Amino acid sequence: MVEWKKGTVQRTEREKEMIITEIREALKQLQDTKYREFQIPTIPTVKPESIIGVRTPELRKLAKQYGASEEIGVFLEDLPHLYFEENQLHAFMISGMKDYRLHPGTEPIFALCGQLGHLRPDVYQGFQKASGGTA
């Protein structure tokens, strides 16, 4: 895992767009249409057009692949994400970090965690404790 601090790698808007497009294309290449059709009714709060249909093991592999590159910060800062799987990928990338505070784009996770706190209060409370109560 690459450990770097926010602001050490400066990218143009064009470079950022290329990185996001590359990640989205990688997700689309991993699409499983049958899995997508299964997911749509099981996640009624997510718009069907925002679901690509990528299985979790594939997302974990992709998170590991991109998590080891400097492009991770560009992706993590690109919020809100367009696709459901991008949110999952984001979470898997953060979960693989030794210290998420060293990575750009992890600050908004506090806001996301606050929004999701009502779904999994136990997870939210654990995140609050780990972050020193700033979540």
Domain boundaries, the chain: 13-104, 106-135
Over residues 108-129, the pLDDT tens digits come to 455 555 555 555 566 556 656 6
pLDDT of residue 70: 76
User: What mean pLDDT do residues 8-13 have?
Assistant: 75
Exposure pattern of 119-130 as b/e (b: 16+ CB <10 Å)?
A: eeeeebeebbee
pLDDT of residue 124: 58
Ranking 56-60, 68-72, 102-106, 130-134 by mean pLDDT, the lowest is 102-106
Which residue in this structure is represented by tokens 């706190």? 117
CB atoms within 10 A of CB 33: 9
Over residues 43-57, the pLDDT tens digits come to 999 999 999 999 999
pLDDT of residue 54: 98
Indicate the length of the chain as a whole number: 135
pLDDT of residue 3: 40
d(CA 117, CA 66): 27
CA-closest candidate to residue 74, choices 16, 27, 10, 7: 16
Query: DSSP of 10-70, one letter per residue?
Result: ---HHHHHHHHHHHHHHHHHT--HHHHHHHHHH-TTS-GGG-----HHHHHHHHHHHHTST
Q: Is the per-residue pLDDT at 5 higher than 50? A: no
Retrieve residue 60's tokens.
Answer: 């974990």
pLDDT of residue 88: 95
CA atoms within 13 A on the CB side of 3: 6
| pTM of the shown model | 0.69
